[in-house]
């Protein structure tokens, strides 16, 4: 195995320039024209076949090695968040109200770096590498759209292994974390509409006030979770918005609750859906009002294939050192549309520490914060690990 960290270190100045360019011009959603242009320019001159998706700004760059071997899928998400940046960085966002607050600019630069490293080894590379540059991870299901458009049919043989990296600020730079099985939760949106009868606030007995019913639904849901959901297979229901009423002396006719349902197994996900569909109408009926539950299915559980993840762990230790790789004890309740890919291809997502050295891990601003700052040196480890996964699969023929 060549010294991939050294190869990534050599590219580091270019990766910093690319990352900062992406950071200045963040775009949100599935259509990222400026981001796509920047990435395509960064890939120019490499021996890649470029496939541009039409339903999104997705890019699939195909590197065919000169030797036989498996097809490996490597992924980076490219989209930003609707966040107003307050980092004070000299390369801060120039697009008001948008920011790369989740590190996707680092992800994209790392995957470009891996494409450059592996392209330089094309004559010795076995198999094919698909570099998946994906839009719309932040709530727009970009991965699902890319799958529907034929991502896995880009080559004659489908990918037999998939790998993705997500940076974080809660561990020191270069630390790799992952686990076998569920690593991230599913994420479904729930809307509860309580319909009562409006009236004067001085005479609630002449109305059917939806607000206390909504409040009881929030509390009863939390209690029901502790009684009906196995604590060792956790689930979360959080109502994040409550909307009711227009003034202090009028009982409104409706109250709206909007929230998220999260689980780390399909069975608990189903239980949570059943629970809320049972609790809500029951409480509403007890108060003589009506309530409607709407659940929009979002991202599935992100499940790391156990065998593939054990293999990635060994590759990471060989590439970065034993002291830079840690097994996670439990899943993280955030969600990722990488879960759609892992439903189709055995693969892994690894977290990569990128906490700035001057900050204490765990105290730095977290993902999605308007003050999120990342240590760019993490891109050296991330680039090397992407390349190592593809090259190791090629060498093993798996």
Positive or negative torsion for Cα 353, 354, 359, 364: negative
One domain for residues 193 and 281: yes
Task: Examine the residue annotation and report whether 376 is marked as an active-site residue of this protein.
Answer: yes
Instruction: Report the CATH number at residue 285.
Output: 3.30.70.360
Confidence of residue 1 (pLDDT cuts 50, 70, 90): confident
Task: Examine the residue annotation and report whether 41 is marked as an active-site residue of this protein.
Answer: no
One domain for residues 60 and 202: no
**Number of domains composing the chain:** 2
The residue among 394 and 121 whose pLDDT is bigger is: 121
One domain for residues 222 and 357: no
Which of 138, 208, 299, 336 is the catalytic position? Answer: 299
One domain for residues 135 and 219: no
Who contacts 8 (Cβ-Cβ below 8 Å, separation ≥6)? 15, 113, 117, 379, 380, 381, 383, 384, 387
Look at residues 299, 329, 355 and tell me which one is the last residue of a structural domain.
299
Tell me what the mean pLDDT of segment 183-196 comes to.
98
Give the Cα separation of 235 and 29 in Å (integer): 27
Domain range for 201 is 187-299
Who contacts 149 (Cβ-Cβ below 8 Å, separation ≥6)? 53, 54, 55, 56, 58
Nearest to 100 by CA among 368, 378, 363: 368
pLDDT tens sequence across 104-119: 999 999 999 999 999 9
pLDDT attached to residue 397: 59
pLDDT tens sequence across 203-261: 999 999 999 999 999 999 999 999 999 999 999 999 999 999 999 999 999 999 999 99
Residues 335-371, buried b or exposed e (16+ Cβ, 10 A)?
bbbbbbbbeebbbbbbbbbbbbeeeebeebbebebee
Which of 216, 376, 377, 398 is the catalytic position? Answer: 376
Helix, strand, or coil here: 76?
strand
Q: What is the pTM of this model?
A: 0.95
Percent of the chain with pLDDT over 90: 96
One domain for residues 68 and 173: yes
Helix, strand, or coil here: 373?
coil
Look at residues 299, 315, 339 and tell me which one is the last residue of a structural domain.
299
Nearest to 146 by CA among 138, 156, 136, 155: 136
Nearest to 349 by CA among 361, 340, 358: 340
Instruction: Report the CATH number at residue 26.
Output: 3.40.630.10
Residue 44 clears pLDDT 70, i.e. is over it: yes
pLDDT tens sequence across 249-276: 999 999 999 999 999 999 999 999 999 9
């Amino acid at each position: 195995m060549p010294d991939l960290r050294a190869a990534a270190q050599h590219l580091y100045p270019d990766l910093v320039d690319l990352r900062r360019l992406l950071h200045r011009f963040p775009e949100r959603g599935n259509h990222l024209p400026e981001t796509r242009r920047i990435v395509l320019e960064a890939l120019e001159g490499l021996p890649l076949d470029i496939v541009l998706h039409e339903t999104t700004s997705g890019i699939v760059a195909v590197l065919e090695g000169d030797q036989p071997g498996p097809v490996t899928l490597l992924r980076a998400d490219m989209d930003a968040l609707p966040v107003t940046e307050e980092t004070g960085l000299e390369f801060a966002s120039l697009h008001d109200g948008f920011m790369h607050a989740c590190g996707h600019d680092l992800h994209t630069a790392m995957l470009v770096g891996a494409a450059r490293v592996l392209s330089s080894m094309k004559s010795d590379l076995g198999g094919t590498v698909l570099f998946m540059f994906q839009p719309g991870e932040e709530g727009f299901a970009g991965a699902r759209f890319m799958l529907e458009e034929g991502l896995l049919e880009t080559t004659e043989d489908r990918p037999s292994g998939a790998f993705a990296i997500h940076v974080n600020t809660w561990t020191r730079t270069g630390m790799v974390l992952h686990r076998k099985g569920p690593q991230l939760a599913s994420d479904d949106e729930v809307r509860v509409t309580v319909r009562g009868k409006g009236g004067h606030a001085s005479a609630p007995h002449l109305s059917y006030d939806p607000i206390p019913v909504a409040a009881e639904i929030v509390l009863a849901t939390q209690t029901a979770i502790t009684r009906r959901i196995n604590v060792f297979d956790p689930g979360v229901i959080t109502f994040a918005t409550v909307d009711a009423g227009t003034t202090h002396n009028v009982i409104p006719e409706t109250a709206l609750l909007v929230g998220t349902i999260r689980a780390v197994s399909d069975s608990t996900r189903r239980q949570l859906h059943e629970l809320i569909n049972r609790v809500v109408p029951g409480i509403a009926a007890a108060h003589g009002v009506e309530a409607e539950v709407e659940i929009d299915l979002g991202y599935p559980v992100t499940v790391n294939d156990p065998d593939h993840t054990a293999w990635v762990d060994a590759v990471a230790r060989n590439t970065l050192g034993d002291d830079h790789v840690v097994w996670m004890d439990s899943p993280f309740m955030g969600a990722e549309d990488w879960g759609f890919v892992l439903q189709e291809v055995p693969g892994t997502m690894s977290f990569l520490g990128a906490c700035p050295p001057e900050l204490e891990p765990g105290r730095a601003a977290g993902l999605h914060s308007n003050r999120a700052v990342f240590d760019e040196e993490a891109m050296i480890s991330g680039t090397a690990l992407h390349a190592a996964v593809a090259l190791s699969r090629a060498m093993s023929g798996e």
